[in-house]
Amino acid sequence: MKTTATHPVHFFSGFAMRVLVTFTLVIAVCLLLYAATSGPSSGSTFSSSAYGDKTWDDKDHVQSSDDDYATCEDLDDGDSSEYLKVTNFGFAIPASSTIEGIEVFIEKRGESSKIKDASVKIIQSGVISGTEQALTTTWGNSDFTDTYGSATDLWGLTWTDADINASNFGVAIAARKSSNGGGEKKARIDHIQITVHYTSSLPISLKSFNAHAVDNKKIKLEWTTASEKNNDYFTIERSENGASFHKISTVKGAGNSSSIINYNAYDDAPVFGNAYYRLKQTDFDGKFTYSNLISVAVSVSASPKKCKFSVRPNPCPGQCSVTVTECDEKNVSLALLDAMGNEVYSKVPVDANGTFSIDATNNLTPGVYIVMGNSPDQSFSQKVIVR
């Protein structure tokens, strides 16, 4: 999985607040397994072995769908091809995973409705084996793709992640002329791919995750793990709308552990109103998973006087303005975040009680944005739709 880099935006600190609601997520022990798929992947090693006596030409042409074919010529009455073997699919299934099923996709074409599968089998540890998967239907006269196996089909074999990741894992197919008459015919294969379905242990077992106010100035995030596997670090992320998140801080993980470990981190500049927090856990190989969300609602005390804040026009036609009025403070800071939580504009500080252009020189790409501002004692935000 790929990640999108985000930058922390600290909007204010040192204000008085009170926690209105704190939702605490307690997970007895979160699910220890997750289902995943890898592929479809294409092989990179091509060979043949005995089945029939007709050979395959241009075996490496099955590496991609490009109308360049591996071809078996001159299939006459009663003839079958040799096995076309494709291996070295480059899988990297996580260690200790449970293989649930294997799907093979073969893009092919026949000639004059005279070609059928002779045999389709899996290759495990370099050996053609497992249940026969050949279909009885005739190959079409133009390119089409047949699927062999399924998300729950193990081809009659027992598998480990090492079997799948091995360079000698793959699939073998042989073709035959299906009926007499009409002279010699061709079998052609354009592309062969494999998808592997598996379940794997989650990198952590999360027992609890909660948040609460400390000294009326910041939010303390606390979480506990019962076990960890290849856990590099945690990222604490916050959202003002429950959809777009940005990073607050990171905490180093234990790597591998089977003991209870307690963690904590602080949001030193929380926002007013509802805020949502989640944990992002990242493995040493860069893969990551997310916790569920917890929510905290905070509000400012009666003093100082609260600024009034608006964005106009909204929806915004590409350029819009922020108006701040009735502030006791001298300065405010402004920032614009996109839907992914990335900061795309900032102006720190600006004079309070005025109107300020957002992205005045470059029109914004259409989408949803969050305009955020703060004074020394307050914070405010508003969603903006750019058309």
CATH code assigned at 381: 2.60.40.10
pLDDT tier for residue 12 given thresholds of 50, 70 and 90? very low
Whether 1 has a pLDDT exceeding 60, the answer reads no
Last residue of a domain, one of 136, 169, 200: 200
Model's pTM, two decimal places?
Answer: 0.51
Beta bridge partners of 292: none
275 token code pair: 């805020």
Last residue of a domain, one of 239, 274, 300: 300
Whether 283 has a pLDDT exceeding 70, the answer reads yes
Determine what percent of the chain is predicted with pLDDT higher than 90.
43
Number of Cβ within 10 Å of residue 198's Cβ equals 23
**12 within some domain:** no
pLDDT in tens, 341-384: 777 776 655 556 667 676 655 567 788 877 777 665 666 677 77
**216 within some domain:** yes
**55 within some domain:** yes
261-267 vs 288-290, strand pairing mode: unpaired
Full residue range of the structural domain in which residue 327 is found: 308-386
193 in Cβ contact with 147 (< 8 Å): no
Q: Is there a single domain that holds both residue 107 and residue 177?
A: yes
Which has more confidence, 240 or 9? 240
Whether 250 has a pLDDT exceeding 90, the answer reads yes
Using left for φ > 0, alpha for ψ between -120 and 50, and beta otherwise, residue 348 falls in beta
Whether 178 has a pLDDT exceeding 80, the answer reads yes
Whether 160 has a pLDDT exceeding 90, the answer reads yes
**5 within some domain:** no
**164 within some domain:** yes
- Structural domains in the chain (count): 3
Q: Is there a single domain that holds both residue 164 and residue 61?
A: yes
Distance CA 323, CA 72 (A): 73
Q: Is there a single domain that holds both residue 77 and residue 174?
A: yes
Q: Which of 368, 366, 371 is nearest to 356 (CA)?
A: 371
Q: Is there a single domain that holds both residue 184 and residue 318?
A: no
**2 within some domain:** no
Cis ω before 203 (30° cut-off from 0): no
pLDDT in tens, 309-342: 777 787 877 677 777 777 666 667 777 777 767 7
CA torsion 316-319-322-323 (nearest 10°) is -90
**369 within some domain:** yes
Whether 23 has a pLDDT exceeding 60, the answer reads no
Task: Please give the C-alpha separations between residue 167 and each of 123, 159, 337, in angstroms, as whole numbers.
Answer: 10, 15, 45
Whether 105 has a pLDDT exceeding 80, the answer reads yes
Which domain CATH number covers 277? 2.60.40.770
Q: Is there a single domain that holds both residue 41 and residue 182?
A: yes
Main-chain dihedrals φ then ψ at residue 155, nearest 5 degrees: 60, 30
Q: Is there a single domain that holds both residue 215 and residue 313?
A: no
Whether 67 has a pLDDT exceeding 90, the answer reads yes
Q: Is there a single domain that holds both residue 49 and residue 191?
A: yes
Q: Is there a single domain that holds both residue 56 and residue 178?
A: yes
Q: Is there a single domain that holds both residue 232 and residue 353?
A: no
Average pLDDT in the chain: 81
**Per mean pLDDT, which range of 21-30, 47-56, 168-177, 250-259 is the poorest?**
21-30
Q: Is there a single domain that holds both residue 293 and residue 377?
A: no
Distance CA 157, CA 96 (A): 17
Last residue of a domain, one of 177, 200, 223: 200
Main-chain dihedrals φ then ψ at residue 37, nearest 5 degrees: -130, 155
Q: Is there a single domain that holds both residue 239 and residue 336?
A: no
Q: Is there a single domain that holds both residue 169 and residue 112?
A: yes
Distance CA 134, CA 249 (A): 54
**Per mean pLDDT, which range of 148-157, 289-298, 355-364, 377-386 is the poorest?**
355-364
**140 within some domain:** yes
Q: What is the CA radius of gyration of the chain?
A: 30
Per-residue confidence (pLDDT) for residue 314, from 0 to 100: 78
Distance CA 312, CA 296 (A): 29
